Structure 1
């Protein structure tokens, strides 16, 4: 309350004006506008903290309510101290959730207001370009997500399990509709009927878990498929090392970090031709990129890889090379620092 009282005493017009701006933001529903009051309350406190620490730039890592708070914080600073005081705000745009609820997230207005937007892919950047006028396009930078390639490394020995001819297939992700895990199970059922030996692990949890358990039981896959459940981040490298192929049959994505992690461990990946995935995975080079929802094509791709361990090895090596050259933490950090510096200049 102290921060609010101080701002109200110092400049009541700024206080009421920014509050009014918050109340005009987002979908015109009472609940939405009430949440904007809470974001305004947080922005006043954040502005006070930043002022005491001589900070003038706030960055939100998502386009959600954190970006609402960041935008209001910068607006308070600009109205109190003037446009030359250096108050800036930026945010990172991931997608895909925000692209399906443009009004709820107030995306076009956020892009117009922000001093810069870090987009995780060219596809992501293009989706914002279609929402705003061309004079805002220059503020849209492309900053890749990344993985720690010192943590996600190839296994110490060549992937081989003598005496067990089954190809090991790994899925890591939430068990939710947009990730397409039932498509993977359909493909596995097809391959099992055709006599292709597989061992499959699905790692993650979510609303589809009961449905997937029933699908495994119904299709007679209890000896083939294991639903592992959620695991900690530190457990993932060992799972990637266990596998021969990584599969992510999503219907909707941004640019999945799990694909980067798998590729960093020299796993060939089989995934879908949606959003920005082709900016990471090159079909027939570092993996297979297939039309979404096609269990038949997924089954064929897995059958081909099961019969060709040499190709799996080559794809894995190519995937690791892609991640090391384009998706490392050092490269992303350097790009992000440059983005912040450019935002200050602009």
Structure 2
């Protein structure tokens, strides 16, 4: 069994339930900058005294592993495909699992067949997941893991479910959405929820979708465990009353064209308003062209990628954070913005209203409506006391409900088999 480091042992928190051995975490790509919240969760669980063994199906490219902390985490993370690409290693993993428990290996094969989706291509992918699962199962046996946990519920979760069956371990997963809900049958959420010891749902909306795709007898295992941030990492800085900020991937789901149209509407009534967009993505060139056509070249800045510290610094100087998304789970960046005491404008979709309560911790507008978005932004630009009231209430909401000091302890209890 893997030993806990002295730091992990020294920072263990009394009174928090902990499992009897290591808990393995797996995702499709870990660690990487876009999923820093998972790394924070892992660090918080280690601080609670849990021994967390990190695994990744594929290693992210070096450009997505940023900073010394992520590089160190990458070095201690087991790569499944990296090992599976060696045919001898792959065959040896299956042989060892089969020799140790032929019944579990056969049970995993039957589960893989039952959990496949329609079509030949899907069946071939299921075979690949089954092959990868033995490599992960063998690693779990070597580390003495007592539980396996996945994030997201899609392909890595399929591998996790099969690996846990081969290794004779319970498994669980954190369900985010929205993409997995769009293809619930493809990813066989019904089977995964039925097989899991528990499912951590990031919002009540997320839990409702899990209920939609599972049998009622499985509903008691659906628990709300929020993604979370450390509010102390975020503080307000100097603000000028006209700075707007967007942080996110420049892709269709984020609704940035609507934001640019709203900025064009604000040009006359609020000529001093300025928007910075942090992030990159496939739509960047098209969005830059959109901004030029709309006459926004001197009002909108495409700042590109920024690391965690850079985002925190940008939030400290922003008066208003705006996220006009069409599809989300419950964005961590909204938690960060509220923690930094930004007034927030976002859309009424998925779990967002559970964090941003309209008129209380921010303003919410219908998705896809540039006029409504421009109206909400103009309202905040005109009303500094309203911005301040929303900002303070938003910070308090994050401290109370989306705090890294509280949420990981719920997971620790679930890993130990207790109710959080």
Match of 2:197 in 1: 115
Give 1:59 deviation, angstroms.
0.7
Match of 1:170 in 2: 245
Give 1:17 deviation, angstroms.
4.4
Which deviations, in whole Å up to 9, do the C-alpha atoms of 1:122-166 show, x marking residues without a partner? Answer: 0100111112221110000000110121212232xxx443xxxx6
Q: TM-score w.r.t. structure 2 length? A: 0.75
Match of 1:62 in 2: 152
Give 1:187 deviation, angstroms.
0.7
Determine if the alignment matches structure 1 residue 251 to structure 2 residue 326: yes
Distance 1:251 1:52 in 2: 43
> 5+ residue gaps in structure 1?
79-86
Determine if the alignment matches structure 1 residue 206 to structure 2 residue 206: no
Determine if the alignment matches structure 1 residue 27 to structure 2 residue 102: no
Contact 1:118/1:339, CA 8 A, preserved across alignment: no
Distance 1:190 1:342 in 2: 54
Distance 1:18 1:326 in 2: 38
Which deviations, in whole Å up to 9, do the C-alpha atoms of 1:12-58 show, x marking residues without a partner? Answer: 45434422432443322233222222222222222223223332311
Q: Of residues 303, 309, 314 in structure 1, which corresponds to 2:378?
A: 303
SS state at 2:174 partner: strand
Distance 2:320 2:96 in 1: 59
Q: Which moved more, 1:254-263 or 1:207-216?
A: 207-216
Aligned pair count?
329
Determine if the alignment matches structure 1 residue 237 to structure 2 residue 237: no
**Residue 14 to residue 221, structure 1, CA distance change in 2 (3 Å):** same
> 5+ residue gaps in structure 2?
1-90
Determine if the alignment matches structure 1 residue 133 to structure 2 residue 215: yes
**Residue 195 to residue 144, structure 1, CA distance change in 2 (3 Å):** closer
Contact 1:173/1:203, CA 8 A, preserved across alignment: yes
Match of 2:353 in 1: 278
Q: What is the correspondence of 1:208-227 to structure 2 with a 5 Å cutoff?
A: 208-227=283-302
Determine if the alignment matches structure 1 residue 181 to structure 2 residue 256: yes
Determine if the alignment matches structure 1 residue 340 to structure 2 residue 419: no
Contact 1:141/1:339, CA 8 A, preserved across alignment: no
Q: TM-score w.r.t. structure 1 length? A: 0.90
Distance 1:116 1:12 in 2: 26
Contact 2:104/2:165, CA 8 A, preserved across alignment: no
